[in-house]
Amino acid sequence: MRIAYTSDQIRTAERALMARLPEGALMRRAAAGLAAACAGLLPRVYGSRVLVLVGSGDNGGDALYAAATLAGRGARVDALLAGSRTHQGGLAALRAAGGRVLGGSESEAVRRAAGRADLIIDGLVGIGGTGPLREPYAALAEIVNDTPGIVVAVDVPSGVDASNGQVDGAAVRADLTVTFGACKTGLFIDPGAGQSGVVELVDIGLGPYLPDADVVALTDLDVAGLLPRPGRESDKYRRGVVGIVAGGSRFTGAAVMTVAGAIRSGAGMVRYAGQDEPASAVRDRWPEAVITTLAPGEGVDRVGRVQAWVLGPGLGTDDDALAVAESVLAGDLPVALDADALTLAAAEPSLLRRDAPTVITPHAGELSRLTGVPRQDIEAARLHHAREAARTLGVTVLLKGSTTIVAEPGRPPRINLTGTPWLASAGTGDVLSGILGTLLAAGLDCYDAASCAAYLHGAAARVAADGAPLAASDVADALPQVARSLT
């Protein structure tokens, strides 16, 4: 499991560790790891051109010491001192190793140095930075982003809030972020995650001093350990029966895609309940699904035994849809609500007031309707609003988007790291709902089911896309391959 912390948590741990170490030892550890990571990116260190952008904080000192190590190995290092002050020990080390200091940050020499550099080290702003970059840092970030060299950020890209991933204006776009001691939350969450490139963690000994995690991210091993596996005594009921109420006369495909996600992710049985047109579409595509055709306004009493429900994709929002939604939510089984079910819940909040396990899977617009918070505010602070929605609504929230977040009261949010922009395609959310229903029916709690569903969904999309456009059906079809890779 990958664990991340806020900048305040990191700084508190650093102070506790530094109190037990000789002065400067922690910075030397960080700089050694940074220098090794930078050297590994260059075909050869000797003769390579390196530009280091140095700010006023400690990460400017980290950058200077790392640059001194590279200069000592024969790199041609130029340093731009952009801050109001400079770490004197790091500067002396760089000069002693043969590094040069450039003139003012506005000079054409800076652009030339950036343009010809094989590697640029961003040591402008560290984990304490919040809000927009001030000048000359903002201009330097733009220069760095317009150069062909490899960009390495020190601890966090300048312009990214380390605690939440927010970016307000210009920010360095790194190919590699070398972060010290522990990952920072902002490296996991867009837009900060998108600015960070590959994240490499350097152990500097913070472990014993770190508190409980701010957020966590599952890995292949974590998901493999959580996924239910059939045993010798398994039957379709032990594996889990998921009931799906989705699709209507307008969006029949939503029913087909939701059932696809459930079947392809390993449901013991799928029971589909819906009106004639979507029921016919499901029957034609998925003959293994057990289908109950509902009359307009009919509830789910005739559907038979299920262990969890998926409610909402393409269902509609008329009185008939409300009646069947009320029927599902009146029971005591786990329910995953998506799409039109969320619109119904926004209009009738009492639908979510239930004691049984409940997961909602909104995108930012749907969460806005549920909470009254403007969509743009949610998109700008996804982690905060996912947490708040889980707390105020009393449900597990799977907030979909460029960074998918699973939040549940009393537990650290889980950040999904397997997604891909190719998932921005019609029907892929329906597939996710089907996967989630399968895992709920198999007995996972809402927190684990939502986290694993997001992980499998993103991993399947990566397999299906392979760098090219995909359809929702491609994601569903890739699920068995992903499951096999986790065994």
Report the binding-site residues for (6S)-NADPHX: 58-62, 126-132, 137, 155, 254, 314, 363, 430
Read off the tokens for 127.
Answer: 């984990």
Helices (H), 42-123: 58-72, 88-96, 108-116
DSSP character at residue 47: T
Backbone region of residue 219 per phi and psi (left: phi > 0; alpha: psi in -120 to 50; beta: other values): beta
C-alpha to C-alpha distances, 383 to 165, 331, 347, nearest whole angstrom: 9, 31, 24
* CA atoms of 48 and 28, how far apart (whole Å): 23
Give the relative orientation of helices 252-264 and 428-441 as an angle to the nearest 10 degrees. Answer: 50
Distance of CA 451 to the CA centre of its chain: 11
The tokens of 362 are what? 């909104």
| Cα 25–Cα 28–Cα 33 angle in degrees, nearest 5 | 135
- Which residues are annotated as part of the binding site for K(+)? 59, 122, 158
Residues contributing to the annotated binding site for AMP? 400-404, 429
Q: How far apart are CA 427 and CA 258, in angstroms?
A: 8
Name the binding residues. 58-62, 122, 126-132, 137, 155, 158, 254, 314, 363, 400-404, 429-430
66's tokens: 């790392």
Q: What is the H or E stretch that residue 392 is in?
A: helix 382-393
Residue 225: both structure tokens together: 């350990």
The values of phi and psi at residue 280, to 5°, are -65, -40
- Run of H or E including 140: helix 137-145
Residue 217 CA to chain centroid, in angstroms? Answer: 8
